[in-house]
Amino acid sequence: MGTITLINNETGKSYEFDLIDCTRGPKAINFSKLFETTGIFSYDPGYGSTAGCESTISYIDGKKGELLYKGIPIEDLVMHYSFSDICKFLISGDLPKNEQESLEFDLELRHRGFLHEKLKRMFDVFPDRAHPMATLSALVSVLSTLYVDYKDEGDTDDYQTMARRIIGKIPTMVAYCYRNSVGAPFIQPDISKSYIENFLYMLRGYPHSRLKHTIYGEQEISELEIKALNKILILHADHGQNASTTTVRNVASTGVHPYAAISSGISALWGPVHGGANEKVLRQLNEIGDVKNVDKFIARAKDKNDSFRLMGFGHRVYKNYDPRAKVLKTLKDELDQQGIKMDSYLSDIAQKVEEVALSDDYFKERGLYPNVDFYSGIILTALKIPTELFTPIFVMGRMPGWCAQLIEHNKNPHARITRPRQVYLGK
Ligand code: SDX
């Protein structure tokens, strides 16, 4: 293991720190004893250059635009596996060995899709216009009260039950958030349908089509829609130590119930500059309203005196095309060819935004490219998913990643409670 020497030019003192080797990506300076050794803090607001943990789950190369889950590129995984396969992969470390194993795991998730009757009654207290991310965060927190004996369940070592339970239930919660908001009756999961098909069935199932709000009539759920949603969820499954995953790990570090930690991750993901961006992309395209207004909005995005930012563009880590956006762009084109597309005027605006931004020096100099949210918002619209469900669907996708990260944290015997320091500027 190499070392790095730090010289304090004020005192002339020098200090040596170990360099931590990693299997991919940048090394890290082991600063865990920095304060103890030097009496000085490191300062890195937003943690742009700081590793808060060791992990083996996902790897991101921001320069190359690369994302791997446990060493396998996402481009390979989306081609050959279902989302429930990837859930198994992330929480247990193994991909299904065969069709039978894949089906067995998917069946387990379906059986876990039913909600406690008391949990369903919680929907009565939420106003129709409640944002589903607020509802989801509350429901997941309440889920911890229904499994209070969790710590005694004896599986705290591998947390598999905890993970499979919440991965199984989250699609039902998301579907019920929408059904509740339009006054439609809840539909029980149908265990003869796959995990993804079940979600679309609970979301759209009859007598939904009689509702004036309805955005779909009585229609069969197509294989193409199931395949598209599978890919979208796989691409969202994990993404290193982003804001919401860091929140889950930080809250888990206090020893709290896993579902309380995940509930906090849902709240963090809701933010419009994080997971909430997919919903904001659609609202922004509608705000732009016409292709001829695009240049005006791009100018606003570049104006330092204007807080307007181009939703779906830029990323803390990717200074190249988000690899997930590339896969989604191909998926969008495939759906277009099959006639599954959003209203053409919105599609034209999105295309113009992308063209202008990608050719503009302001965006190129700053490495601002379309990210996962730019295309997921467009595709979910084409799939006729209600806009307010875009971020809840991000929650569905990220659930296995949060569980895997939480398991990794809790299984680490050296994991400590998160407790950053501060640069004090007060009196
Ligand atoms: C996700 O971290 C993850 O992995 C998250 C995520 C995941 O899978 O978990 O990938 C999911 O959150 C994707 C990001 C979705 N958010 C958006 O699309 C919202 C729009 N994007 C921006 O808000 C912004 O790009 C962030 C928040 C994503 C990244 O912000 P950073 O890293 O703090 O970038 P920055 O603010 O330091 O910006 C650097 C420069 C600044 O200009 P200068 O001060 O250098 O002149 O780029 C500018 C910014 O003003 N900039 C933008 C911009 N994003 C950055 N200018 C206009 N529009 C934008 N979208």
Mind listing the domains of the chain with CATH numbers? 3-51 (2.20.28.60), 87-269+395-411 (1.10.580.10), 277-382 (1.10.230.10)
Q: Tell me the best of 273, 319, 364, 398 to mutate to test the pocket of ligand 1, counting ligand atoms within 8 Å of each CB and taking the most.
A: 273
Q: CB within 6 Å of ligand 1 — which residues?
A: 239, 242, 273-275, 277, 301, 309-317, 366, 368, 371-373
CA–CA gap between residue 399 and residue 269 (Å, rounded): 11
Report which protein residue has its CA nearest ligand 1's atom 7. Answer: 239
Contact between 136 and 177 (Cβ < 8 Å): yes
pLDDT for res 191:
95
Burial class (CB in 10 A: 0-12, 13-18, 19+), 265: buried
> H or E stretch including 33?
none
Q: Give the end-to-end CA distance of the chain in Å, rounded to a whole number.
A: 42
pTM: 0.95
Of 213, 208, 168, which Cα lies nearest the Cα of 186? 208
Give CA torsion, residues 59, 61, 62, 68, to 10 deg. Answer: -50
Task: Please state the rounded mean pLDDT for residues 362-374.
Answer: 94
| pLDDT band at 228; cut points 50, 70, 90 | very high
Q: Can 116 be counted among the known catalytic residues? A: no
Beta bridge partners of 67: 60
HSE at residue 2, side-chain half, CA atoms within 13 A, is: 8
pLDDT at 13 over 50: yes
Looking at ligand 1, which residue's alpha carbon is closest to its atom 3? 242
Residue type, position 419, single letter: R
58 strand-pairing partners: 69
Question: Hey, whose CA ends up nearest to atom 24 of ligand 1?
Answer: 314
Contact (CB, 8 A) for 164 and 84 = no
Confidence check: pLDDT of 217 > 70: no
CA distance 134 to 103: 32
Q: What is the mean pLDDT of residues 131-148?
A: 95
pLDDT tens-digit series, residues 326-345 = 999 999 999 999 998 888 88
Active site residue 373: yes
- Asked whether the predicted pLDDT for residue 226 surpasses 80, the reply is yes
Tell whether the model's pLDDT for residue 154 goes beyond 70.
no
* Active-site option among 85, 315, 322, 409: 315
The lowest-confidence range among 137-141, 158-162, 274-278, 382-386 is 158-162
In contact, 4 and 17? CB cutoff 8 Å: yes
DSSP string, 60-122: EETTTTEEEETTEEHHHHHHH--HHHHHHHHHHS---SSHHHHHHHHHHHHHTTPPPHHHHHG
Residue with the smallest CA separation from ligand 1 atom 25 is 314
Q: 314 C-alpha to center of ligand 1: Å?
A: 4
- Distance (angstroms) between ligand 1 centre and the Cα of 362 equals 13
Mean pLDDT of 200-224: 66
According to DSSP, residue 21 is labeled P
Nearest Cα neighbor of 245 from 85, 408, 374, 95 is: 408
Summary mean pLDDT of the chain = 93
